[in-house]
Chain A
Amino acid sequence: MWASLAEQVRLQFETWGLPEWSFSLANSLFKALVILHFILLSVLFLVWLERKVCARFQNRLGPMRVGRPHGWLQTLADVLKLLVKEDIIPESADRWLFRLAPVLVFVPSMMLFVVIPFGPGMAVYSLDVGLLYLVAVTSISVLGLIMAGWGSNNKWSVLAAMRTAAEVITYEVPLALAVLGVAMLAGSLNLERIVEAQAGGRWFILVQPLGFVVYLIAMTAELRRTPFDLSEAESELVAGYNVEYSAMRWSFFMLAEFGALVGFSGVAVTLYLGGWHGPWLPPVAWFLLKTFGLILFIMWVRWTLPRIRIDQLMDLGWKFLIPVALVNIAVTGVYLVVM
């Protein structure tokens, strides 16, 4: 349906006598806008949801006063506040790094959405090396985080940046290894092919439970969410790599964090939970339902577990997740050969 619609628009462009590239440009711009709005709207919703869920876990009510019922306009009010707040750049900061960092953190989390198939044929770009692309893109954001930490010229933010770097680089490895098992089973790196391989309830979580657990843990660490939130441990590091940021620059970090949360959950759903497959409801609805269900689970974990120490973090990554992921690959390989 989408393809035919795009084709019609392309023909219309031709009858207007516009060059070929103008259609490509309009097409990409339109898709980028759709993705951007999807991210912004889900972040708007998720920040509210996070506060609500956290409150209910702690027998509180959470935001109640901005917008009835249940303060649903709270995040919108927060955004308005952030927009009009003063943008402060510390005198001793490295101005270039300081300004560039929020963007560099946000862009990779948006780039995740390029290959995620929301429904049949509904990925922005059905990349044949989609999985490789994902693994590559997710590791860019750590650069932005280090830039933010270093550029702020603040000891807390540098400490946080070093922790972030250690954490993200460590968990990049098991993440890629876990994903490899799925690629072996599906026989493709294209995310749409992977979802198609899970048709009829043959979700990869059933054959790759170990891979799913490793992916889930590594993903939580990549997102720097509790219990792996060492990089923004409020009680130790004031706030983390973004101590010196205020107003919209700060909110870009927030946006990137929650955007990546949606992105990583979307990838997890695509790889392990059958993507858009499901009865009765339209494919897109199933995809979103599963994604937000997984996000709820991650929030649940966040408000249950305490933060772990940096040495435990390294232990878990190198000594547990990587061996387990390797075993998973070996078992998958044997399974493929034998079957």
Chain B
Amino acid sequence: MGYLADKTVDVIRSTKSIGEGLGITFRNLFRPPITVQYPDERVKISSCFRGMPALLTNRETGELNCTACGICARACPLGIITMELGKDGKKRFPTSFSIDMSRCMVCNLCVEACPFEALGMSNRYELAETQHGSLVWDLDRLSRLGREHPASQVGQPARKGGEE
């Protein structure tokens, strides 16, 4: 009888555990799916999400903050930032500026190095391009990105006189 009793206990126990398992999956059946159908839907990203760098514009004057000093280019561990200096009297500005996004690792070092609040990390994370050349972002696209993403200025430490 000992054997039979053991078996019976076994059966009851396993039936109970199978029932519990079925209950768990049943509860999950009615939970809303957590899938985000990416190209159609997007996850809401945090306002301080760090994407690719962008050139920031002074909101009042509508001009770039950049003075083409080259500190960011020196700070970049990969050396992928290039620029050319243009002068208009005392004013200094970049005539060209580029970041090679095929190599950029979004490390934020250029932004930290910049003494003029001219660079900021935007929240753009979709970096795929259809042509090789487009991976190198030029002055025009970088400054447009800086204007498109006002959120890119949030969370940057203000070093100069709190103009923000």
Contacts and interface: CB of A to CB of B under 8 A. Distances in A.
A59 B22 contact: no
A61 B32 CA distance: 9
Contacts of B26: 300
B34 to A, nearest CB: 5
A304 B24 contact: yes
B25 A304 contact: yes
A304 B33 contact: no
Contact of A305 (B18, B28, B31): B18
Interface stretch (A50-58, A140-148, A152-160, A196-204): A50-58
B133 interface: no
A60 B18 contact: no
A339 B57 CA distance: 95
A136 interface: no
A60 B31 CA distance: 10
Given A56-B29, A57-B28, A57-B29, A304 B35 contact: no
B4 to A, nearest CB: 10
A77 interface: no
Contacts of B24: 304
Interface residues of B, number: 16
A56 B29 CA distance: 5
A56 B35 CA distance: 10
A250 interface: no
A60 B25 contact: no
Give the size range of A's interface with the partner. Answer: 10 to 19
A58 B28 CA distance: 7
A303 interface: yes
Contacts of A300: 22, 25-26
Contacts of B21: 304-305
Contacts of A58: 28
B130 interface: no
A301 interface: yes
Interface in A282-323: 300-301, 303-305, 320
Nearest to B31: A59
B131 interface: no
A301 B33 contact: no
A55 B25 contact: no
B22 A304 contact: yes
A65 B21 CA distance: 31
B46 interface: no
B61 interface: no
Contacts of A66: none
A61 B22 contact: no
Given A300-B22, A320-B7, 12 more contacts: A53-B29, A56-B29, A57-B25, A59-B32, A59-B33, A59-B34, A60-B33, A60-B34, A61-B37, A64-B37, A300-B25, A305-B18
27 contacts: A53-B29, A55-B33, A56-B29, A57-B25, A57-B28, A57-B29, A59-B31, A59-B32, A59-B34, A60-B33, A60-B34, A61-B33, A61-B37, A64-B37, A300-B22, A300-B25, A300-B26, A303-B25, A304-B18, A304-B21, A304-B22, A304-B24, A304-B25, A305-B18, A305-B21, A320-B7, A320-B11
Interface of A: 53, 55-61, 64, 300-301, 303-305, 320
